[in-house]
Chain A
Amino acid sequence: MPSFLVNVTIENKPEIVDPEGNTILNDLVLKDKRTPVKKIRSAKMLKFQIEAKNKESAEKTVVDLCNEFRIYNPLVSKVSVETLSI
């Protein structure tokens, strides 16, 4: 059975204040006055190593369990998923 790495990135929805991202931007990156960076949002990434018959199946399994176990809180967070063959 092939193995996959499913990376789930969890971040607060855009309307929710992100003090960590703001601090990194305002108190670190923007100290370089020439920086082109305009915004930073912090996020948490969980990396699931999984065996599945194909990429789609691997991704579906992980997304389903994220929903079942409330790995992210749908009220405040959004997720993005990236699946890689390993």
Chain B
Amino acid sequence: MHHVLTDVFKLQSQLVWHADDLPKNVDAIVLPGGFSYGDRLRAGVIAAHSPIIAQVKKMAEKGMPILGVCNGFQILTEAGLLPGALLKNTSLSYICRWTEIIVKNNKTPFTNKFKLNQRIPIAIANGEGRYYADKETLHMLKKNNQIVFTYGEDVNGATMKIASICNKEGNVVGMMPHPERSAEQILNPKDAKPASMIFESLIKTLGVTA
């Protein structure tokens, strides 16, 4: 993620240790994927108690763009910044392959350059990626336009094939697929342009000029 932000999109990105403070003058926060605490107990739950998450919550309340990818998405749900939960895939397998996701909300800081229903070739890599929401939560997600991406196929048993959601305000987005593994043509077997638009949307939001 750091490589893509700095080397591909030329953004000033800084890695921050979970026990340290957020740097001042931060414009956006990205919680990358991985396996914090080895997914012990539940993916993301222990990291959600990290000291820095309290600061992430404050920034979320202020409207800062925040993106959680894979384990980052799991942490955001466990921290209560996003509704629902990520359960073990129905197959119980770790799934690592290419798929397509479909844009359902192009109003977020990470999707504002997309057309609705645009398809994005993208990598998925997770064991606990089955998004689950109960009826009430699902009703709220639909009502508030909080479903950001859906899968083009049933990859893991996720409710309504949901791959990504946002908070009610739209500034906090969580997604299971990996845009950072899909935004360079040398890595993407189809087309890297759509996935790169997730980062270009952020650049547009921040008003960054080259």
> Could you tell me which A residues sit within 8 Å of B by CB distance?
12, 15-17, 19-20, 23, 69-71, 73, 75-76
B157 adjacent to A17 (CB under 8 Å): yes
- Residues from chain A with Cβ under 8 Å of B85 in the complex: 73, 75-76
A70 to chain B, nearest CB (A): 6
Q: Enumerate B124-162 residues with CB–CB distance to A below 8 Å.
A: 132, 134, 137, 157
Residue count of chain B within 8 Å CB distance of chain A: 17
B49 A75 Cβ-Cβ under 8 A:
no
Is the pair B84, A70 in contact by a Cβ cutoff of 8 Å? no
Can you give 15 contacting A-B residue pairs, CB < 8 Å? A12-B87, A15-B134, A16-B87, A17-B90, A19-B92, A20-B92, A70-B45, A70-B78, A71-B41, A73-B42, A73-B45, A75-B132, A76-B85, A76-B87, A76-B132
Q: From DSSP, what is the main secondary structure of chain B's interface residues?
A: loop
A17-B42 Cα distance, complex, nearest whole Å: 17
Contacts of B41 in A (CB 8 A): 71
Residues of A contacting B: mostly: loop
Residues of B whose CB lies within 8 Å of any CB of A are: 41-42, 45, 48-49, 78, 84-85, 87-88, 90-92, 132, 134, 137, 157
Please name all residues of chain A whose beta carbon is closer than 8 Å to the beta carbon of B92 when the two chains form the complex.
19-20, 23
Q: Is the CB of B134 within 8 A of A69?
A: no
